[in-house]
Structure 1
Amino acid sequence: MAAVRTIVVWCPDWPVRALAQAEGFSLDEPIALIDHGLVFACSPSARAEGVKRGQRVREAQAACVELMTFDYDPALDYRSFEAVVAAIEELMPGVQLLRPGMCALAARGPSRYYGGERGAAGVLLTTLVGLGVEDARITIADGRFAAEQLARMPGREGIRIVEPGGSPEFLAEHPIDAIGDPQLATLLRRLGLTTLGSFAALDFRDVRARFGETGVHAHTLASGRDARRVVPRLPPQLRDIEVAFEPPLDRVDQITFAFRTAAERFVDELTQALLVCTSIRVELHTDNGVVHDRGWGHPRWFSANDVLDRIRWQVQGRTGAGAGALTSAITKVRVLPEGLDSIGNYETGLWGSAPDDRIHHGLSRVQSLLGHGAVTTAVIGGGRGVAERQVMIPWGDPRVGARAGAGVGAGVGHGA
């Protein structure tokens, strides 16, 4: 089967970009994202200082004394890249999400509509630059594998195209590690096959006999005959709710009263879909264009009153002076469900609800009176000593984050 002309859209360093947008940092600052004690991604300035993917935290901090380290949050990656995918889908339907920061499309339809492959790539690049991704790369080649390798080549060209039939020649000089299978690449290198071209020159029957189906698949990719079709994603069903205020509101009671009907509709729609929401994200849009957002968890699931409580606490927490305080009235409140689960997993027991329902109601009432951080519960975190491993988090917040974040130094890291 012949390779399919494929468009690949790549936004380099997307995990770092997503974090910088969420936290208000500049991409020019040395930033590293840590996953299981190793560098998962880093900013260009950190890379220039010697930080690289796969390093231990201490090695990275030794290479760059001003390095700021943060826990890697895959949910933030997907959530932030959704806006990019949605913008592309408005121009060209049939987007396949490969990973946060990279997606693929079949080139045939867009190239016909926009007068050629370069015209379609130009439209995509203009859209991404308008979204703030100035270093985006749009590549087109025979097959997804060749297009991905073309995107990762050094250089500043935003649009890169390999002419039809040119993928085998383009891939021939790439190192064998590009195949994406470290064990197979190591074995091939020991056999003297250091490039994709040398591997592709082997007869596929010999490859099958020696390396099995895994080797045949890798041989097909190295030969420039990647026949994998683009599988468009199903656009997610939007369950977000938002309420705009005209004129803008600055009082907590007015905001929660105006949002009550929307919160009840939000919970009712989830119930009709046989779902419950276990975590939400609340966005407060202010009159001066600033967006204050925060994630909220729940020990069980959110009711309409729980949603209103979180909005009330978030507005109250942003009042006053200091960093992150509200500087103008609120024009819109938006609630996004981040954690959804089947309602069957939360059905009431045969003999009634558990006692923790009453406990949660009481503690939530105290939080509404004294503030979200007034009631805390202990979880086990990382560390060597008993005191270090005891982490206090507000009641209702997810417990997983405390365990995952401990031991790395969530937030700003310190130089070695």
Structure 2
Amino acid sequence: MSDGTIGDGAVSDGTISNSAVEDRPLRMLAVEIAHWSVTAAGIDPTTPAAVVFAGRVTAVTPAASAAGVMTGMRRRQAQSQCPAVEAIERDLDLDARRFAPVVAALEELTPRVEVLAPGCCVFGTRAPSRYYGGDEALAELVARTVTRALASDVLEVSLAGTPAAMPEIRVGIADGLFAAGLAARVAPGGVLVVPASASAGFLSQLSLHALTEPFSPLAGTAGPRGVGASSTAGEELVDVLKRLGLRTLGDVAALRSADLAGRFGTQGEWAHRLASGGDPRVSQPGVAAPDLCVDAEIDPPADRVDTVAFTAKSLADRLDADLARCGHALVCVQVSIETENSETSNRFWRHGFRFSPADVTDRVRWQLDGWRQDRNRPSGRISFIRLAVAQTVPDEGRQLGFWGGQTETDERAERALGRVQTLVGFDGVTVGRLGSGRRFADLEQRLPFGTAGASNPAGSPASPTSPASPMPPWPGRLGAPVPALVLFEPELLVVLDADGEPVGVSGRGEASAPPAELRRANGRISRITAWAGPWLLDERWWVRGARRRQARFQLVLDDGTAHLCAVEGGRWQREATYD
């Protein structure tokens, strides 16, 4: 270990008593690189581009930001805001691989660096702060260390041939992971240190939307993993709180915890504790749980990442089952990998909510990819892997169906899908879920297998148009028949009248002329033999930046096919096809 490394960080920061956690959260440092996916993808900052994950924008270039594209927007909304924006699918493996040199640089300062997601990591400051001369000195040192790592190991690779623009580096220190993460988000000049015991006052002025940030466990109760992932459950809670008249975290903290728990259950209790500057759940040190680690020899040694990932998935399943039997949920895990030449890689990974076996498997793959790209890359094949529990929280459990839990067939199917997911990636296996809304595209949601809420509850209606459907009414939604195919991304069209002029729709919902011809992007031209509409749709006009105005048509073409098309922002698009 180098002279500048702190040796007691893992012990002093990782094994504290429950009573200490109850009194005051652990002092934490959070460092985040703004719009990391853009940097990792090597996108020119002067190009208007947005990185998209699960249909939403998670990172933007400065040029796209100047054009009005913001994180959290849907892909179509971003394209309508800036037609020239280039939408790029997020590659989590690439993000993690490019972030590995930054983590390695921080591990020279303290060994207990915990990666929350690619582009973001945290660690306890108790020992490092004493060693480096206080919180302010530590925060400045971390910012300089990340800057040097980006300049020497990341930007020269990701921006080959392009002038490197240093991304914004944010560092925050506060009591608890939630407050530290938000301090980094709002840090003036990139660094903000919240004084000890002052987190509640700092949080009180922040918006309710802070509850959906990746540093909040409410952001992990639904949706894909990682920074920038959607959090349906957290967004729904925030929406209800805003409609009740609450605007800031201080308003939530002023309420009685029992009232929030009685109305919203566990989520309400967590929201109150977060807003009050506390930890939502009582943390358990690793020594409190039995069977702290699982390991496996890989014989013969493996040189393929998917082989190691398959072994890691089996270990993660065992670890998850062992912790579930004793009522624990894993939130921090240490992954140790060893080669046949006795070379080792050790890293801590943290989750904002709880790890699933698929999450742990992804972290193993990311760590191995980053290690192989490192300057000190291994020279041999992988021969050993260990997963060790670093921190757990009490397991909240899950609600079983009225007629019992899962069947043996369900469990076999889940194991099989989990193995396929290990081979093809987390997003390679998706599950349909019935949604709600006025548009047919809102009724079907595709979520990665293993995501919370990815399966429909028992008793869900088979059809959204069923008269027995328990969903609330949606005025303005088209009735039967339901399209047989709903496009994930609408197809842009050109619709002309009999004189060859584009067909438009007035503000009163009147078509400028009967549609007569449809032209596709590939040059194919079809004649429109019958049509109906327009049916106007004007929704979420009360939310700035989320309003949608559409005029929908049903068009029958000369080849006998029928389509649902819409005019939005002056552009025609095909959204669905009827059988």
Give the TM-score normalised by structure 1.
Answer: 0.54
Query: 1:77 aligns to what?
Result: 95
Query: 2:182 aligns to what?
Result: 149
The separation in 2 between residues aligned to 1:207 and 1:10, in whole angstroms, is: 31
1:105 Cα deviation after fit: 0.6
1:29 Cα deviation after fit: 2.5
Asked if residue 114 in structure 1 is aligned to residue 132 in structure 2, the reply is yes
The separation in 2 between residues aligned to 1:227 and 1:6, in whole angstroms, is: 15
Secondary structure of residue in 2 paired with 1:8: strand
The separation in 2 between residues aligned to 1:44 and 1:32, in whole angstroms, is: 10
1:161 corresponds to which of 184, 193, 213: 193
- Aligned residue type for 2:145: T
Asked if residue 104 in structure 1 is aligned to residue 122 in structure 2, the reply is yes
1:358-392 residue CA offsets vs partner (Å, 9 max, x unmatched): xxxxxxxxxxxxxxxxxxxxxxx9998xxx9xxxx
Query: 2:204 aligns to what?
Result: 172
Q: Is the 8 A contact 1:96 1:230 kept in 2?
A: no
Asked if residue 185 in structure 1 is aligned to residue 217 in structure 2, the reply is no
Q: Is the 8 A contact 2:34 2:168 kept in 1?
A: yes
Q: 1:334 to 1:382 in 2, by over 3 A?
A: farther
The separation in 2 between residues aligned to 1:111 and 1:78, in whole angstroms, is: 27
1:192-246 residue CA offsets vs partner (Å, 9 max, x unmatched): 22211111011222222222122111110000112776999xxxxxxxxxxxxxx
Q: Is the 8 A contact 2:271 2:280 kept in 1?
A: no
Q: Is the 8 A contact 1:143 1:225 kept in 2?
A: yes
Q: Which structure dedicates a bigger proportion of its chain to strand?
A: 2
1:76 Cα deviation after fit: 0.6
Kindly report which structure 2 residues correspond to 1:384-403, keeping only aligned pairs within 5 A, or say none.
Answer: none
Asked if residue 17 in structure 1 is aligned to residue 39 in structure 2, the reply is yes
List runs of 5+ in structure 2 lacking aligned partners: 1-21, 151-165, 213-233, 287-296, 309-374, 386-487, 492-521, 523-572, 574-579
Secondary structure of residue in 1 paired with 2:242: helix
The separation in 1 between residues aligned to 2:172 and 2:376, in whole angstroms, is: 38
Q: Which structure dedicates a bigger proportion of its chain to helix?
A: 1
Give the TM-score normalised by structure 2.
Answer: 0.40
Query: 1:272 aligns to what?
Result: 300
- Aligned residue type for 1:9: V
List runs of 5+ in structure 1 lacking aligned partners: 233-268, 281-331, 343-380, 389-415
Query: 2:261 aligns to what?
Result: 208
Q: Is the 8 A contact 1:95 1:105 kept in 2?
A: yes
Query: 2:272 aligns to what?
Result: 219
1:320-343 residue CA offsets vs partner (Å, 9 max, x unmatched): xxxxxxxxxxxx997999x99x9x
Q: Is the 8 A contact 2:30 2:181 kept in 1?
A: yes
The separation in 2 between residues aligned to 1:98 and 1:80, in whole angstroms, is: 15
2:111 corresponds to which of 93, 104, 116: 93
1:45 corresponds to which of 46, 60, 63: 63
The separation in 2 between residues aligned to 1:37 and 1:100, in whole angstroms, is: 19
% identical aligned pairs: 36
The separation in 1 between residues aligned to 2:88 and 2:31, in whole angstroms, is: 26
The separation in 1 between residues aligned to 2:272 and 2:255, in whole angstroms, is: 8
Query: 2:413 aligns to what?
Result: none
The separation in 2 between residues aligned to 1:101 and 1:333, in whole angstroms, is: 21
Secondary structure of residue in 1 paired with 2:265: helix
